[in-house]
Amino acid sequence: MSEASSPLPKSRNRLPWVIGAVVLGLCALAGACAVGLALFAPGVLSGRETSQRIPSPDRSKVLVTSLNADQTDPRSYLTVQFEIRDAQSDTVLFRESTGASDRMRWSMQWLSDDEVQLISSDIGDYCWRESAAGEWTSAPCSR
């Protein structure tokens, strides 16, 4: 290819253009990877998302996970909280602040229609179970 037909400037130093193209390509690849990870991890809150809705197995309730964004108490800032909501009316049936830090690894899931589990690298695994009376109680998981 001759100098006249080259898409690059006529300057002798093309290295900045090559580096720029490589950096742009890596940024595009990194963005695609981030989008791919978000698409293939359903039901898990990650990064700095503010909320995730996970339906129960029978779809009668919804587990809504979120992060505490209130900075007035530094001990609870960016800790995991969740709500159990009625799927039809979106009424809050139960709300809990777990104390698990979002800075550590964690996930939440339904174990059954009346039991949710928190797996946390800093506070351990906890389960919340709904009683026949509709009350939710927590305990270390036995599974």
Q: What is the pLDDT of residues 25-38, one digit of tens each?
A: 554 554 544 433 33
- In degrees and rounded to multiples of 5, residue 129 shows phi and psi of -125, 140
Query: How do the residues of the chain divide into helix, strand and coil, expressed in percent and rounded to 5?
Result: 20, 40, 40
pLDDT tier at 42 (50, 70, 90 boundaries)?
A: very low
57-97 pLDDT, tens digit each = 999 999 999 988 888 888 888 889 999 999 999 999 999 98
d(CA 133, CA 46): 33
Contact 138, 126 (CB under 8 A): yes
Query: pTM for the full model?
Result: 0.62
Q: Which two tokens stand for residue 96?
A: 């809990």
